[in-house]
Structure 1
Amino acid sequence: MTLYARFAAHVGDALDALVSAGELPADLDRRNVTVEPPRDPSHGDLATNAAMVLAKPAKTNPRQLAEKIAGQLAALPSVTAAEVAGPGFINLRLSDDTWRDELRAVAASGADYGRSAVGDGISVNVEYVSANPTGPMHMGHCRGAVVGDSLANLLAFAGHRVIREYVINDAGSQVDVLARSAHIRYREALGEDVGAIPEGLYPGDYLVPVGQALAAEFGDRYASAPEGDWLILFRTRAVDAMMALIKADLALLGIHHDVFASEAALQAAGKPEEAEAWLRARDLIYDGVLEAPKGETPEDWEPVELPLFRSTRFGDDQDRPIRKSNGSWTYFGADMAYHFQKAQSADQLIDIWGADHAGTVKRIQAAVAALTEGKTRFDIKIVQMVRLLRAGEPVKMSKRAGNFVTLADVVREVGKDVVRFTMLTRRADAQMDFDFAKVVEASKDNPVFYVQYAHARVASLHRRAAEAGISVEGADLSRLDTEDLALVKLAAQFPRVVETAAAAREPHRIAFYLYDLAAEFHAAWNIGNDRPDRRYLIADDHGVTAARLSLAASIGQIIRNGLSIMGVEAVSEMH
């Protein structure tokens, strides 16, 4: 049990004691009671809001309740002071030995330090990327891919059972366009001069090998054949080829999915009909006529009776059609069935969507709430686009024009770890610039470099110590003083950061924390430039050196653990 978990238990024990003494009701809801670092470190090491949260339902004064709780906590051997602040917050100061014990816990746990059981084995389906299978991955897909994969890592580290899923949108008009584009490249491979690729088709050279493969397989059988003879066949072959490209691109980022769900297979299996029947049986689908779209006159619009989902019952702005007038499924109808399928094999669902899908959030949230009867937690994370810059100038991307910047090109230029870390240096819903020069810059302003440099410094320390014959085995941690232990206090927050980041579904919190930890380590290191007694390696004091090497080793371990969640490898040397 980590430090914050232990003190949460201590607060619980203090409350239990007050209940036993008849000073608190037994049925109080304690879920909002927290133990966390105080906003101002000068106020103490830990703070709890227990009195503030429980005073009102207990019908007592918060400050008086705080005094009672503080009295219980002050009796703990690890607490040197329990102080009531303001209207009823409780600040705790812990003994130096408590922090030394936490340092030992980091060393003992190693790669598992910060790992949590808070997920309790709950299964979570994280669906991310799901780019249309019409070409290789470009940088427009990259951020959602990294956010989704890092979130999956984070949830697994926090004790969830994670299912990583990619839905293949192979049932829409875009894959017919892909098939027609592949047919042109097929004819080209047979020797025909096809000229410029017609407007509306995909002109990218990535379809040239697809055309060549089709020519090798079928010869000229379909060169002049009517579209009906080859469309489905070419669509299947082209989608398979594009998915092979996409999987290879994702592998460059270290991303691998557990499930690839086909929209076409979903529809062929009758899942939309199954979802519709389920909802009709509960009077959540009815046949009705939508209102005319705003801004259009009656001459522009003809009312048609359609099957409508009662989306407004679940917070949406209007009821939504699940079928078109020709009987085919709307995008929403198919998507609703897909989520119905996912919910049948997972306790919770998370979708990672691009900003262009933000307008459909309410309707799919309404559908999931209806289809799971409100029992399934469902989060949608909107990821804003990334603006690529070279020499300060935006890099334009257009898949249809065939001149987009591929994910593979970027990874090969700056490296997987740089790409992954950079994508987590801002909240997913905030705009981001990816400047090719800045992401590889060796400066404090580049979080990728700054965190990796901290780890490399730790590795360098241990190499130099080994050369000097200094071992950390059996280090006397009592040689660590107050200044040293200040760094331990930040390091000890890592398990709590993991749990809060997992609860919020926000993997960027790991990146933010690692930057703060690296900054504190660098600051402590730099003090040694002016004060020899603050250095990590002190030639004539192997005792202090061994203790500080143990401290540095723990910082390095936490950085590795955090980077692992982000899918980034820690480096031991900077080049």
Structure 2
Amino acid sequence: MTLFETFAAHVDHALDALVAAGTLPAGLDRSNVTVEPPRDAAHGDLSTNAAMVLAKAAGTNPRALAEALSAELAKIDNVTAVEIAGPGFLNLRLHATAWLDELRAIGQSGDDYGRSASGAGKVVNIEYVSANPTGPMHMGHCRGAVVGDALASLLEFSGYKVIREYYINDAGGQVDTLARSAHLRYREALGESIEIPEGLYPGDYLIPVGQRLAEHYGDRYVAAPESEWLVLFRKAAVADMMEMIKADLALLGIHHDLFSSEAELHEAGKAEAAEAELRARGLIYDGELEKPKGKEIEDWEPVTLPLFRSTQFGDDQDRPIKKSNGSWTYFGADLAYHYQKSQNVDAMVDIWGADHAGTVKRIKAAVNALTGGKVQFDIKLVQMVRLLRGGEPIKMSKRSGSFVTLADMIEEVGKDVVRFTMLTRKSDAQMDFDFAKVVEASKDNPVFYVQYAHARIQSTLRKAEGEGLGLDATQLSLLGDAEIALIREAANFPRIVESAGKASEPHRIAFYLSDLAAAFHAYWNLGNDQPDKRFILAHNPALTGARLFLAANIGQVIRNGLRLMGVEAANSM
């Protein structure tokens, strides 16, 4: 158990003692009781809101309950003082031994420090990236890819069984456009001079696709009607695009467990099954859409369509699941996809671009109806990233064939810089990615600042080893207040992991690592003015051993956090 888990158990036992004494009624809901650091470190080491959240249900005054609880908490080993703050918060001050024990726990747990079983083996499907298979990955896809992958790692570390899924949108008009674009490149490969018309994909990445088609089919489809080659070319082009996409994602360290095809979903009749299920529950009916508001449409006529009762869930109108020609709407296809993947999971998380925000409420409502509320479903929205170079915007257009590819990005600044930077802000907040700034060797660059902290630690350990000095966990009692403050920051890691997993917000790990790195650099800088604060003191091997043990385990926590982000820790810079 970590220090926070240990003291959460102590608070629970103290509440049990109050129940046994008749001070508290039995059976109170304690789920909102927390044990965490106080907002101001000057107020103590730990804080609990137990008296505040239980007083009303217990029919007592929060401060009176706090006084009774403080008497129980004062009996706990390593608690040196319990103070009541405000209307009933309790602040605990701990003996240094408690923090030194936690430092030893970090050393004993190693790579597993912060890991938990809170997920209890529940199966979570995380669907992310899912870019249309019409070209290579570009930076418009990058942020959602990193957020989804980091979330998957975070939930695995928290005891969930995670399925990483990519949904291939290979049933819409965009893949027909891809097939027609590939056909032009196919004719080009056979010696024809071509001109790519407006509306098709002009990128050079389709040239190899056309060459492979030419090698396979010869000139069989050069003059053939579209009906003869469209399906063949569509499947071949999508397959090639997916291989390209997988290779691009691999450069970013991303590998999915499952690739689901929209086309195969329709072929298997999953959409019809979802419709039947929702009709049986009265959530789909045949009705007419309202006439579009605003601009007059002279030839508009009412059409009867199958509609989902999305107004029951806060939408402004019920939404069609099929078009007037009988094909499925995007919403209808989405219903079928979620119905399929909900069959064998306990929870689902979708990582979507912010441009899909308008459909969140209705798809969540539909999934809740399809699963009877038994499958938890969350959607995390990811804002686009504005690319800059030295403060100047970089324009990109997929249709014109001009865009910054993910591969080019990684080649220029490196996988680790890309991944870390994409997690330095909450996913639904706007972000700028400046090629110049993300590689700056500056404390204002969190990527550098965290990596530099780890590199400094590894350099210190190598230097100590060269001088015949090593780690010594038996001398930790020699550490003082400055070192204890650093341990306190490191000890927050398991708590941050738990909260980040519960909120599906992996950016919290990046924020935490930035704080830990800042605390480490601040401690390091003490040695610049006070030589006795340096890690290596040749005249004091015992204190040196204790500080080296501290440094090594600060490095361990940094590595554990970076690993969740998919970033390798730097050993030198």
Structure 1 length-normalised TM? 0.99
Deviations 1:477-518 (A, max 9, x none): 011111110100110000000000000100000000000000
**2:219 paired residue number:** 220
- How many angstroms apart in 1 are the aligned matches of 2:505 and 2:302? 44
Conservation of the 8 A alpha-carbon contact between 1:314 and 1:370: no
What SS class does the counterpart of residue 298 from structure 2 fall into?
A: helix
What SS class does the counterpart of residue 389 from structure 1 fall into?
A: strand
Matches within 5 A, 1:243-254: 243-254=242-253
- How many angstroms apart in 2 are the aligned matches of 1:106 and 1:192? 66
Deviation at residue 378 of structure 1 after TM alignment: 1.1
Per mean C-alpha deviation after superposition, the further-off stretch among 305-314 and 252-261 is: 305-314
**2:386 paired residue number:** 387
Conservation of the 8 A alpha-carbon contact between 2:472 and 2:546: no
Counterpart of 2:188 in structure 1: which amino acid?
E
Conservation of the 8 A alpha-carbon contact between 2:18 and 2:24: yes
**1:327 paired residue number:** 326
Deviations 1:5-42 (A, max 9, x none): 11111111111111111111112111111111100100
Per mean C-alpha deviation after superposition, the further-off stretch among 278-287 and 199-208 is: 278-287
* 1:40 to 2:62 alignment: no
- How many angstroms apart in 2 are the aligned matches of 1:282 and 1:358? 26
**1:23 paired residue number:** 23
Counterpart of 1:48 in structure 2: which amino acid?
T
Conservation of the 8 A alpha-carbon contact between 2:136 and 2:405: yes
**2:441 paired residue number:** 442
Conservation of the 8 A alpha-carbon contact between 1:475 and 1:550: no
Per mean C-alpha deviation after superposition, the further-off stretch among 286-295 and 264-273 is: 286-295
Conservation of the 8 A alpha-carbon contact between 2:472 and 2:548: no
What SS class does the counterpart of residue 23 from structure 2 fall into?
A: coil
Deviation at residue 379 of structure 1 after TM alignment: 1.1
- How many angstroms apart in 2 are the aligned matches of 1:25 and 1:402? 69
Per mean C-alpha deviation after superposition, the further-off stretch among 512-521 and 22-31 is: 22-31
Counterpart of 2:489 in structure 1: which amino acid?
L
Deviation at residue 123 of structure 1 after TM alignment: 1.0
What SS class does the counterpart of residue 299 from structure 1 fall into?
A: coil
Matches within 5 A, 1:509-528: 509-528=508-527
Deviation at residue 298 of structure 1 after TM alignment: 6.1
* 1:13 to 2:13 alignment: yes
The percentage of counterpart residues that share the same residue type is 72
- How many angstroms apart in 1 are the aligned matches of 2:299 and 2:23? 71
- How many angstroms apart in 2 are the aligned matches of 1:343 and 1:563? 31
* 1:2 to 2:2 alignment: yes
Conservation of the 8 A alpha-carbon contact between 1:74 and 1:81: yes
- How many angstroms apart in 1 are the aligned matches of 2:57 and 2:299? 59
Deviation at residue 538 of structure 1 after TM alignment: 0.8
- How many angstroms apart in 2 are the aligned matches of 1:130 and 1:388? 21
Conservation of the 8 A alpha-carbon contact between 1:82 and 1:90: yes
Alignment coverage as a number of residue pairs? 573
* 1:408 to 2:407 alignment: yes
**1:80 paired residue number:** 80
- How many angstroms apart in 2 are the aligned matches of 1:300 and 1:343? 41
- How many angstroms apart in 2 are the aligned matches of 1:12 and 1:318? 49
**1:199 paired residue number:** 198
**2:107 paired residue number:** 107
- How many angstroms apart in 2 are the aligned matches of 1:529 and 1:473? 24
Deviation at residue 292 of structure 1 after TM alignment: 1.3
Deviation at residue 272 of structure 1 after TM alignment: 0.5
What SS class does the counterpart of residue 513 from structure 1 fall into?
A: helix
What SS class does the counterpart of residue 476 from structure 1 fall into?
A: helix
Counterpart of 1:318 in structure 2: which amino acid?
Q
- How many angstroms apart in 2 are the aligned matches of 1:499 and 1:184? 52
**2:55 paired residue number:** 55
Q: 1:40 to 1:172 in 2, by over 3 A?
A: same
Question: After the TM superposition, which segments of 4 or more aligned residues of structure 1 sit over 3 Å from their partners?
Answer: none
Conservation of the 8 A alpha-carbon contact between 1:49 and 1:90: yes
- How many angstroms apart in 1 are the aligned matches of 2:449 and 2:482? 22
What SS class does the counterpart of residue 484 from structure 2 fall into?
A: helix
Gaps of 5+ in 2: none
* 1:503 to 2:502 alignment: yes
Gaps of 5+ in 1: none
**2:301 paired residue number:** 302
- How many angstroms apart in 1 are the aligned matches of 2:148 and 2:476? 40
Counterpart of 2:22 in structure 1: which amino acid?
G
Let me know the Cα RMSD of the aligned residues.
0.9
Structure 2 length-normalised TM? 0.99
Conservation of the 8 A alpha-carbon contact between 1:353 and 1:380: yes
